[in-house]
Structure 1
Amino acid sequence: MTTVAARPSLATRLTALTKIVELGPGRLEPKLLAEASTLLTRAGERLKLSSEHTVVALAGGTGSGKSSLFNALSGLELSPTGVRRPTTARTHACVWGLEGATPLLDWLQIQWRHRFSRSSALDKGESQLHGLILLDLPDHDSIRALTDSEADRLIGVADLVVWVLDPQKYADASTHRRYVTELAGHDAVTVFALNQADRLSAEELAELVIDLNDLLRREGVEHPSVVPTSAITGRGVDSLKSVIAAAVSRRRAAIQKLEADLHRLEQRIAQTMPVGEALSAPSTVDDARRLGLTDALCDAVGVPAVGEAMENVYAERSMSWVGWPYPRWISKLRPNPLKALRLQDVADEIRGIASGTVSAQSAEVVNAVQALADGLSSEMHPVWRSSLNHAARSQAAKLPKALTDDLSEVAPRLDRVPVWWRLLKMWQYTLVAGFVLGAAWLVTGLLSAGQAPLGIQLLGDTAALPWVGLMMASVLGLGALSGIAARNFVELGASKERERLEREMRRRVSAIAETTVVEPVERELVRHHTFYTAMRALAG
């Protein structure tokens, strides 16, 4: 029941580690990623193999009596012991219950001639060890590189490791520096057998056990399990066998070993990239930052200036059509404001957005992009901050040209003349013609009253002159009023045209910013969020 409950948690953590390995390149140290990949491979292979067998490895240095203890635990002389320089050249395995263990032994790379089975009558009274695969590893401090490598490999894959220490070298730096300190957090799957206890008095043994416990705690083993043993007298062998039997009967050692390995790896990754630093980092680009980027890019390409220029040009061009002709004719005596403003062609103005001041505009674009990246990455780890900045700037070099090219298509048609401009111009020239006719009538009447031919006399009828003057005044007033009304309508139209132009330009700027900046940034934010979600899942 315990095993079934533990597997989903382990599977979740392994899935999380898989995601970390997937997103880790360029962010985590290659060595750490390699160890994580190795652990994933080992976990996948181990979980596919027999869950009914527990691999227990006896590890130790030369002269610790490891092989003798292996023989004492198995009850058979399976592993050779030396006299002058005891050393185990190849791993020996004793299996209690061989059925289903062959694939696991193959995975452990145990040679056939070094496999032994305890499935005979000798197993009476040892049913609690059924499922045990006991390994006698080569000495980890052997001068033979081959055996040293094999010991390291099997120490890493064994479900439970029994470190066999002798009284003289129980604090040996080789063992503690290379292995024990690396097993911090593996308390549940690590046992320490203080062997050759027959060489010590009761007081000496008690003192050594206390000293060894203290040493192990200082090295990170919070709850060390120390069992004094003697392969010669058999002292403590049954106690060690009971510890091993408990692990075998629970069928949990393999899971616990993987969980301990995951925990240690998670701690090392967390030291590199603390999870707490990423808790407040955003996982997407919010609307406010999108709007801020669009505003900054619009300023960088001069959208407000172009809109204002277009509005001025629209208003000034209209005066040649809808302005009251008399003031317009008089204004020709003054310098042309269009030439002074250099706003003759808004299309050229827009197409020239990036010309002349390219460096300044490019710098403004870069600043806008950088401001977005800085705002999003302020709470991130430096590695992720750099990665996000790179994503934000990945297409920044193309951005100024893309904006300029796209906005050039929005240039308004300056040769377009609204119909009402033409109609109003016809009306105003009709008024001009009426005023000229009235003026001619008035002058003729004043100069030739009663002395001209009949036709001229009609025009010069002094009785009609007041009415002619009233008509001329009305024409002037009507013309002035139409000019004022036209100016108001033109200004309103110019304002609407500016709004339309700026709205379209903002829409295009926003679309370009979304494609070239926001989308790469959001992909990186998703990676960041996924990575730290996996980190939290790995931590359990």
Structure 2
Amino acid sequence: MSVSITPPATQPRTGLGTRLAALSRVVELGPGRVNPTLLKESGQLLSRAGDRLKLSSDHTVVALAGGTGSGKSSLFNAVSGLELSPTGVRRPTTARTHACVWGLEGAGPLLDWLQIQWRHRFARASALDKGDSQLHGLILLDLPDHDSIRALTDREADRLIKVADLVVWVLDPQKYADAAMHTKYVAELAGHDAVTVFALNQADRLTREELAECMADLTALLKREGVASPTVVATSAITPGGADGLKAVLAHAVSKRRAAIQRLEADVERAARHLGAMMPPGDALTVPATVDAARRVGLTDALCDAVGVPALGEAMENIYGARSADYVGWPYARWASRLRGDPLKSLRLGDLRQEIRDLTAGAVQAQPAEVDNAIQALADGLSAGMHDTWRNAVKQAARSRAADLPRVLSEELSQAAPRLDRVPASWRLLKIWQYLLVVLFVAGVAWMGTTLLYGVLGVGELPDGLSVFGEVESLPWVGLMMFSVLGLGLLSAVASRNFVVLGAGNERDRLERDMRRRVSAVAESMVIEPVERELAKHHEFYTALRALRS
């Protein structure tokens, strides 16, 4: 019989172990992001690959699959050279999988994994293997009919088709284009060319021209359905040498000891194709894996605005200056200002006394709507270009603690509110200095009055020890002293106010830096860290997906 074998075009691929590791990472990161059915199938593939790679690499599992009446069991017997699988007109004939093993050593665990019952296992004795030594290491399975009306056997056929190293589809000339088989199985064979063989059985029923026409038609049909390089072989279970073509294909596969690896590679490729179609990588790796410094600063700025840090700093600066007037201002100006009303109202700051009480009590409130807008802006910027599933995941991560964020910000900034009942020591010293000058001025006034009374008007005589206060000659000096004291007090007040303005600015800067530091820390722990965890997962997922597809 003629054989048409076209080796599939191959390209350098990443090693199977690397791709399985990548698939494992995709499955680990996929829950909630990847279709559950696809994740389940990928997980089963990983389990199957792990099991198969631990079992005998010296054996190649070949499954003969086919529909009712295709002559699959007869072909099984023809290849094995023994009447091992029952044949007949009753359908379905094969109710349980039969296995024929060429070389039993090491095959037991593999047959156990395949769940082949003991009474259906057969071995080719060495005396009978003289002509089939090239098949040593072959485990040939005769599967139940895949279109069986018995659900149990149909499930068994499906299970073994998924785990066999190489699948031989046995087709008969009348039903090789059967829609059920092509729809259910052939559509899933894309990429499995190296581990799939199509046996056009019962070739003895056709003339040479009819056989060539059927094989050409079958090959064209398979190519149209996505099997790029189908291997098609003509077989006959009743013609002497009718199974030699299939034996040659099996011997080639057995000798290479590569079918198990090629099957797993094809399964991994199919998983990669399905995952890639569902979540195309595109430019996914250009999405940052971390939140950059500019976005961190932007989030901190937005949250500072939401909590009112600039307004608090300005209020702090104004309050600082207003309170300093009681300590470093010129006492005379302060006393005069009391006649004009409340000095705090003249600053046009609203109810500054209430602001003082609020700041001292730490009554700082964050605006939830503005906080939410800041988080949304960060998530939108970072998730641009992502797959919708990952974009939603990043947004959910950013908002995972959004409900608590305004409260935590308020509590944190309340701890940064200034202690406005604390008076700097320098203010107290300046106040002492100003009142010392007031005392000196009052003393000068008393001296001048005494001199006018006793030295100029002569109302009486001063005691000997106090006569100096009645000397008229001292009046110019006393007046100069009083003028100097007033000038010194005024200069001290002006200089002190300048220092206070500078100190108020420094205090505002210190308060705003402290608040920004606290806001930044809260944003880092409650927004940035959850987002970066999701970004890292996104980066790892697509890195693994690209390694899987490479």
- TM-score interval, normalised by the smaller of the two chains: over 0.9
Partner Cα distance (1:135, 1:95) in 2 = 9
**Conserved in 2, the CA contact under 8 Å of 1:450 and 1:457?**
no
Q: Which amino acid aligns with 1:286?
A: D
Q: 1:134 to 1:337 in 2, by over 3 A?
A: farther
Aligned partners of 2:485 and 2:309: how far apart in 1?
A: 43
Find the partner of 2:299 among 284, 293, 314. 293
2:344 aligned partner, one-letter code: L
Q: Which moved more, 1:472-481 or 1:134-143?
A: 472-481
**Partner residue in 1 for 2:502:** 492
> Given the alignment of the two structures, is residue 90 of structure 1 paired with residue 96 of structure 2, yes or no?
yes
**Aligned with 2:350 (options 341, 347, 351):** 341
Question: Any conservation in 2 of the 1:448–1:457 contact (CA below 8 Å)?
Answer: no
Q: Structure 1 347/394 Cα, relative in aligned 2: closer, same or farther at 3 Å?
A: farther
TM alignment of 1:392-411, pairs within 5 A: 392-411=398-417
Equivalent residue runs for 1:11-26 within 5 Å = 11-26=17-32
Corresponding residue to 1:501 among 482, 487, 511: 511
Q: Distance in 2 between matches of 1:371 and 1:383?
A: 18
RMSD (CA atoms): 2.2
Q: Which amino acid counterpart does residue 482 of structure 2 have in structure 1? A: M
8 A contact 2:454–2:461 mirrored in 1: no
**Runs of at least 5 residues in structure 2 that lack an aligned partner in the other structure:** 1-11
Please state how far the C-alpha of 1:440 moved relative to its aligned partner.
5.1
- Structure 2 Cα separation of the partners of residues 317 and 118 of structure 1: 105
Equivalent pair of 2:329/2:493 in contact (CA under 8 Å): yes
Q: Secondary structure of 2:266's match?
A: helix
1:199 to 193, 205, 218: 205
1:539 is aligned, of 540, 544, 549, to 549
**Structure 2 matches for 1:25-424, cutoff 5 A?**
25-83=31-89, 85=91, 87-234=93-240, 236-338=242-344, 341-344=350-353, 346=356, 348-349=358-359, 351-354=362-365, 361-424=367-430
Q: Deviation per CA, 1:130-163, whole angstroms, max 9, x where unpaired?
A: 0000111111111111111111111111000011
Question: What's the offset of the Cα at 1:420?
Answer: 2.1
CA contact (8 A) 1:227 1:236 kept: no
Contact 2:285-2:539 at 8 Å conserved across structures: no
TM-score by length of 1: 0.93
Q: Summarize deviations over 1:139-198 as a string: whole Å, max 9, x none.
A: 111111111111111111100001111111111011100001111110000001111112
Q: 275-284 vs 300-309, which deviates more? A: 275-284
Alpha-carbon offset, residue 449 of structure 1 = 6.5
| Alpha-carbon distance in 2 for matches of 1:117, 1:184 | 33
**CA distance, structure 2, for counterparts of residue 166 and residue 347 of structure 1:** 95
Paired with 1:325 and 1:111, the residues of 2 have a C-alpha distance of: 108
CA drift at 1:353: 2.2
**1:3 corresponds to which residue?**
none
Change (3 A) 1:337 1:219: farther
After superposition, residues 515-526 of structure 1 pair within 5 angstroms as 515-526=525-536
Q: Is the 8 A contact 1:60 1:165 kept in 2?
A: yes
For the residue of structure 1 that corresponds to 2:320, the secondary structure is helix
In the TM superposition, residue 513 of structure 1 has moved relative to its aligned partner by: 1.4
How far has the Cα of 1:87 moved from its partner? 2.8
Structure 1, gaps ≥5 residues long = 1-5
Is 1:96–1:117's contact at 8 Å kept on the other side of the alignment? yes
Pair 1:450–1:495, CA change in 2 (3 A):
closer
Q: Secondary structure at the match of 2:170?
A: strand
Between the aligned partners of 2:311 and 2:59, the Cα distance in structure 1 is: 78
Between the aligned partners of 2:357 and 2:57, the Cα distance in structure 1 is: 76
Task: Percent identity, please.
Answer: 69
Indicate the residue corresponding to 2:8 in structure 1. Answer: none
The offset of 1:432, in angstroms, is: 2.3
Contact conserved, 1:346 with 1:412, CA < 8 A, in 2?
A: no
Q: Which residue in the other structure is 1:472 paired with?
A: 482
**Alpha-carbon contact 1:277-1:381 (below 8 Å) kept:** no
CA distance in structure 2 between the aligned counterparts of 1:197 and 1:85, rounded to whole angstroms: 21
The two structures have a TM-score, normalised by structure 2, of 0.91
Q: Give the partner amino acid of 1:256.
A: Q
User: What is the rounded CA distance, in whole Å, between the counterparts of 2:534 and 2:405 in structure 1?
Assistant: 19
Give the number of aligned pairs. Answer: 530
Contact kept? 1:445, 1:462, Cα under 8 Å: yes
- Contact kept? 2:337, 2:343, Cα under 8 Å: no
Aligned equivalents of 2:428 and 2:82: distance in 1? 116
Look up the match of 2:3: none
Cα deviation, residue 75, structure 1: 1.3
Q: Does 1:530 align with 2:540?
A: yes
